[in-house]
């Protein structure tokens, strides 16, 4: 869930699950300030990227809003998802949604502030996190350091931000895929293996960008 940024998003009552066992299920989207469900087009792209790693994954939807990301992951094969939402009405709507889904017990809904909740969670409890914070939030300096230990050593991180945002993540994370629309930049990161070494290589514009050298591994990912 983010603060309003543009009008090019799903409108109240119109978001739906687009793949998997719950395909076509409509999700309630309240007409609430700050609620910006991820568009169908962006979700389709994202879940094409993620499909190889979804089966059995433990998922965290940290700023859940409509729950479209966490529930889409469950629909497509994730084992469990925790949906964290600070707004009491939105959290209640999420609970009603998962209660009517066959197999919806795989989704847990938590009404809490994201940062406060993260600090109380055990390390390594999730394989994939969806993070769509307010565009003006201090994500890289605030939420991400608290979130990183909660993800597994082979974890994945999806982030939405303003389209002009291109802040580099901490060295634990490598950019895997990204895209942009007029409304949003969306990016999927993969946690670097502990035995990876990070070097700097010039990009075509001359600015240094991180590259990774890894020992052979069996996990190839998407």
> Is the predicted pLDDT of residue 33 greater than 70, yes or no?
no
> Is the predicted pLDDT of residue 45 greater than 90, yes or no?
yes
Q: Which CATH number fits domain 40-213: 3.40.50.150, 3.40.462.10, 3.60.20.10, 3.40.50.720?
A: 3.40.50.150
Query: Cβ–Cβ contacts within 10 Å for residue 21, how many?
Result: 13
In whole angstroms, give the CA distance from residue 45 to residue 108: 25
Per-domain residue ranges for the chain?
A: 40-213
More confident residue, 66 or 123: 123
pLDDT digits (tens, 9 = 90+) for 140-186: 678 888 999 999 999 999 998 888 766 667 788 999 999 998 888 89
Half-sphere exposure (CA, 13 Å, Cβ side) for 203?
6
């Amino acid at each position: 869930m983010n603060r309003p940024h543009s009008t090019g998003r799903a409108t109240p009552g119109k978001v739906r699950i687009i793949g998997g066992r719950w395909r076509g299920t409509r999700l309630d989207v309240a007409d609430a300030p700050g609620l910006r469900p991820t568009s169908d087009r962006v979700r389709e792209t994202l879940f094409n990227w993620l499909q190889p790693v979804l089966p059995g994954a433990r998922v965290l939807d940290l700023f859940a809003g409509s729950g479209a990301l966490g529930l889409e992951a469950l629909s497509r094969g994730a084992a469990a998802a925790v949906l964290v939402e600070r707004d009491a009405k939105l959290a209640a709507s999420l609970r009603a949604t998962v209660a009517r889904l066959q197999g919806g017990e795989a989704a847990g809904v938590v009404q809490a502030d994201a940062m406060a909740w993260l600090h109380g969670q055990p390390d390594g409890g999730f394989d994939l996190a969806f993070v769509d914070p307010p565009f003006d939030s201090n994500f890289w300096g605030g939420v991400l350091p608290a979130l990183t230990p909660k993800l597994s050593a082979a974890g994945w991180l999806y982030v939405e931000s303003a389209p002009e945002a291109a802040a580099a993540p901490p060295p634990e994370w490598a950019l895997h895929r990204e895209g942009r629309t007029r409304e949003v930049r969306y990016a999927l990161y993969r946690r670097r293996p502990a035995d990876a070494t990070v070097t700097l290589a010039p990009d075509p514009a001359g600015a240094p960008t991180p590259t990774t050298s890894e020992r052979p591994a069996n996990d190839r990912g998407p």
